[in-house]
Amino acid sequence: MKLSRYNSLIAYKGKYLLFNAFTKKVIFIEPLLKELLESAAHYGVSELAEVHPQFYEYLCKHNFIIADEIDELALLKEKVYRIDNNNTQFELTINPTMNCNFKCWYCYETHIKTSRLNQEGIQKIQKFIQRTLEEMPSLTNFTISFFGGEPLLYFEQEVTPIIRYAYQITQAKNVQLNLHFTTNGYLINEKLIEFFKELNLFPTFQITLDGNETEHDKVRYINKQKGTYRKITENIKSLAQAGFNVIVRINYTEKNLISVKEIPADFADVLNDEFRKNLHFSLHRVWQDKKPSQLVDNELPKVLERIRTEGFVAMEQGAIDSVENSCYADKRYSAVINYNGDVYKCTARDFTPENRVGYLTATGEIFWENNHLEQRMNVKFHNPPCLSCRIQPLCNGGCSQQAIENWGMDYCVHQGDEREKDKVVLQHVEQILLSKNLVLATS
């Protein structure tokens, strides 16, 4: 018998937590048991079986201790392959335009005012949807995500024809159609809401706030005298009250984090428990503001707690499981189609001709350049630091985009810092505690 390679042992509120990144099991143990476990790591688990057989049996039962012949890395590879090659789902992302009515300082995209889907582009996308449904008889779910740019800029002209077509053909094929919009939320109105209600479609929306009203309006504004916070929050409330799920993405920095505590109060006045369940707050640190910060470490838990106290679901980006909830770009059956027919896999990089990985043909087929799809699907599990990492079943070296960009180099998305890995573990444990999947063990 041996200790699982995916165990983490971390001090936690006067005790120690033992967490397994593969099974997602967590137990809390007293210092004496912690010392016995550390001794087992040095001298072998057989000694633990003799000294504390009850604890030993418990660890075996919950796979903190496993049989010598078990190859955990092979099991993880099988799991990743199964998830990323799931042929019952297809995820299509469409950029109707690369233009936007805002210009946020941290946005990595180049706004192109003349960029719009034309009729030919719409028809190509419709043909692609048809081909996909015909060529994938195992399909049960077809998801279309609208990105950009601001995807609601030309909603009626460019988005509704695609949705109506997708709705008709998925209904005919008995396939579930799911819709998602990543939008700044400013252009949402009752007409848009009624359009979806008429079709009995309820998209999810991701809408970003940049702190409280004062902080947000420094970043997202119509002009220096006219901010957007109040209109966007009112639109979020309208969506929630109409039955739509909204992910309120909060982009935070060291400077605006404390102000985030005030945001829940701006929704508490009109949303009762029935509607609050439609809002999920997701906190993301702005990528240009990634330097270590004691203030962020101290205040982030308080901010999350404040949001949860107000009755909303809240999580930090680091708690996302990159294996079980792998990025759309990691999946074989996904694609990003730009307004001009260029094809990408990742929406977190510039949509430039240099970055494209394929294109959409006139017959609605994707041509992958330089065998890109197969290269991406086989890029994981080649990074030595990941192969010996205790949190690989949570992180797995980040997404396939990061793996491609770091090909041939040893890298770690946490810079090899064990304290940063502990933070990832603690974020996942917090999610388990919130869902009440908790087991206690004492000496």
**Residue pLDDT, tens place only, 271-307:** 677 788 899 999 998 878 777 778 888 999 899 999 9
Q: What is the pLDDT of residue 215?
A: 93
> What's the pLDDT band for 436 if we cut at 50, 70, 90?
low
pLDDT at 442 over 50: no
The reply to whether 43 and 189 lie within a common domain is: no
Q: How many domains is the chain partitioned into structurally?
A: 2
The reply to whether 273 and 349 lie within a common domain is: yes
| Any domain includes 418 | yes
pLDDT at 417 over 50: yes
pLDDT at 130 over 70: yes
| Any domain includes 27 | yes
pLDDT at 440 over 60: no
What is the arithmetic mean of pLDDT over 189-205? 96
CATH number reported for the structural domain that contains residue 189 in this entry: 3.20.20.70
The reply to whether 12 and 126 lie within a common domain is: no
The reply to whether 153 and 21 lie within a common domain is: no
The reply to whether 244 and 383 lie within a common domain is: no
Task: Tell me the CB-side half-sphere exposure of residue 214, using CA atoms within 13 A.
Answer: 8
Q: Percentage of the chain with pLDDT > 70? A: 95
And the tokens for 103?
């210009």
Whole-prediction pTM: 0.89
pLDDT at 21 over 50: yes
| Any domain includes 76 | no
Q: What is the pLDDT of residue 111?
A: 67
The reply to whether 184 and 281 lie within a common domain is: yes
pLDDT at 121 over 90: yes
Q: What is the pLDDT of residue 437?
A: 44
| Any domain includes 78 | no
> What's the pLDDT band for 120 if we cut at 50, 70, 90?
very high
| Any domain includes 77 | no
The reply to whether 214 and 298 lie within a common domain is: yes
Yes or no: say if 410 and 383 are a contact pair by the CB < 8 Å rule: yes
Last residue of a domain, one of 353, 370, 387: 370
> What's the pLDDT band for 106 if we cut at 50, 70, 90?
low
Higher pLDDT, residue 108 or 429: 429
> What's the pLDDT band for 431 if we cut at 50, 70, 90?
confident
The reply to whether 183 and 34 lie within a common domain is: no
> What's the pLDDT band for 247 if we cut at 50, 70, 90?
very high
Q: What is the pLDDT of residue 367?
A: 97
What is the arithmetic mean of pLDDT over 22-37? 93
Mean pLDDT of the chain: 91
The reply to whether 34 and 59 lie within a common domain is: yes
What is the arithmetic mean of pLDDT over 231-251? 95
First to last CA, the chain: 22
> What's the pLDDT band for 127 if we cut at 50, 70, 90?
very high
| Any domain includes 80 | no
The reply to whether 152 and 209 lie within a common domain is: yes
Amino acid, res. 401: Q
Task: Name which of 38-47, 198-207, 227-236 the model is least confident about.
Answer: 38-47
Q: What is the pLDDT of residue 439?
A: 45
| Any domain includes 219 | yes
Residue 152: which of 121, 109, 195, 199 has the closest Cα?
Answer: 195
Q: Percentage of the chain with pLDDT > 90? A: 74
The reply to whether 108 and 230 lie within a common domain is: yes
What is the arithmetic mean of pLDDT over 347-367? 94
| Any domain includes 122 | yes
| Owning domain of residue 200 | 85-370
Last residue of a domain, one of 326, 349, 370: 370
Q: Tell me: the pLDDT tens digits for 322-338?
A: 899 999 999 999 999 99
What is d(CA 316, CA 293) in angstroms, rounded to the nearest whole number?
Answer: 16
Yes or no: say if 433 and 21 are a contact pair by the CB < 8 Å rule: no
The reply to whether 247 and 365 lie within a common domain is: yes
Query: Of 28-42, 332-346, 395-409, 410-424, where does the model show the most confidence?
Result: 332-346
Last residue of a domain, one of 321, 342, 370: 370
And the tokens for 364?
């609605």
